[in-house]
């Protein structure tokens, strides 16, 4: 079974998006205002390519899980990744994840990448991307059109693809920052939100029930691809950027936030309950950490606030 991105009516790439795709001015007259932003939201550069986040700062275990501190961080990451993948597989099937998921993800980028260009109908992207990612990319592409630049992104080949990370969010969906009456812990690729009443945490069963109030999966897939990326200035009638290269492409796929968690099982066939769900409405929520790079520092501060808030709520 193929991974189906339901809203695409089809079966569902490391980095192309630069900081702003408007070509930079390399030569400025004396005294000219140097306010134009650096090139590109799409990352490029051939053999000089580098990712936005070379070493991802995975969250360390909160103080309440102090016993985890004796385990090396690398091993903690492997344990968490294995548990997260097992949760996803158990709620789909061993046939669906990872093989069929990756097949569908490869099909998805074939559909999505050519639409990240000017002079094309980009409306289908509204059903492929999360709203936040769509707004960011559409803004940048509109800027290109305003300065009479043509952006073209073509996927020449997908050579391979592998799951890099599986992110799992358990419990009720909370806003950013501390929320009265709730506590939130992040560890590696796992986020858990619980109601803070200490008398409700007297048993593992009660804690498990609170975590089942909601669930969301996010999967980072790292593709090995060949990309043809160009920016052409209609004013200069020449290519400002021309980059044809084989490179990594990191794409994050995410499900809706299922509340309660049992909502994710509604897509299973009643006559074939073992069949993997095909209507999870997966969407692409980031490409090459374009959005992630903006929230990492904020998340570090939030983790400190959440830790202090949890101690207050639990009366520690």
Name the pLDDT band for 146 (thresholds 50, 70, 90). very high
Helix, strand or coil for residue 125?
helix
- Digit-coded pLDDT (tens) for 28-66: 343 443 333 334 588 887 767 788 999 999 999 888 787
Closest CA to 293 of 99, 106, 45, 18: 18
For residues 187 and 65, is the Cβ–Cβ distance under 8 A? yes
Give whole-number Cα distances, 231 to 41, 109, 119, 236, in Å. 12, 20, 12, 11
Which distant-in-sequence residues (6+ apart) come within 8 Å of 208 by Cβ? none
Give the HSE-up count for residue 192: Cα atoms under 13 Å, Cβ half-sphere. 20
Provide the residue ranges of all domains of the chain, joining segments of one domain with +.
Answer: 6-22+40-313
Pairing status of strand 215-233 against strand 190-195: unpaired
Query: Which two structure tokens, joined as six digits, stand for 162?
Result: 């592998």
- Digit-coded pLDDT (tens) for 234-277: 999 999 999 999 999 999 999 999 998 888 877 555 545 555 54
Q: Determine the pLDDT at residue 5.
A: 35
């Amino acid at each position: 079974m193929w991974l189906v991105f339901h809203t695409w009516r089809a079966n569902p790439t490391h980095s192309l998006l630069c900081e702003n795709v408007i070509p930079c001015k390399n030569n400025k007259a004396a005294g000219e205002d140097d306010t134009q932003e650096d090139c590109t939201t799409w990352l490029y550069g051939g053999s000089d390519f580098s990712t936005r986040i070379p070493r991802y700062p995975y969250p360390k275990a909160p103080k309440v899980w102090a016993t985890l501190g004796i385990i090396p961080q690398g091993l903690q990451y492997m344990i968490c990744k294995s548990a997260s993948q097992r949760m996803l597989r158990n709620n789909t099937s061993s046939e669906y994840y990872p093989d069929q998921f990756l097949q569908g993800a490869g099909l998805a980028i074939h559909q999505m990448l050519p639409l990240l260009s000017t002079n094309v109908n980009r409306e289908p992207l509204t059903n492929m991307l999360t709203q936040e990612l769509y707004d960011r990319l559409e803004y940048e592409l509109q800027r290109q059109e305003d300065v009479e630049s043509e952006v073209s992104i073509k996927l020449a080949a997908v050579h391979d693809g592998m799951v890099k990370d599986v992110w799992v969010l358990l419990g009720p969906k909370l806003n950013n920052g501390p929320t009265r009456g709730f506590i939130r812990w992040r560890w590696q690729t796992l986020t858990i939100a619980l109601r803070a009443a200490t008398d409700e945490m007297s048993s593992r069963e009660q804690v498990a029930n609170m975590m089942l109030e909601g669930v969301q999966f996010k999967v980072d897939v790292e593709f090995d691809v060949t990309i043809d990326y160009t920016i052409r200035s209609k004013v200069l009638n020449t290519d400002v950027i021309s980059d044809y290269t084989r490179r990594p492409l990191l794409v994050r796929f995410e499900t809706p936030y299922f509340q309660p968690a049992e909502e994710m099982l509604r897509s299973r066939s009643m006559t074939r309950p073992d069949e993997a769900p095909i209507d999870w409405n997966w969407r692409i929520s980031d490409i090459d950490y374009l959005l992630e790079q903006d929230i990492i520092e904020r998340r570090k501060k939030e983790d400190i606030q959440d830790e202090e808030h949890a101690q207050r709520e639990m009366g520690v």
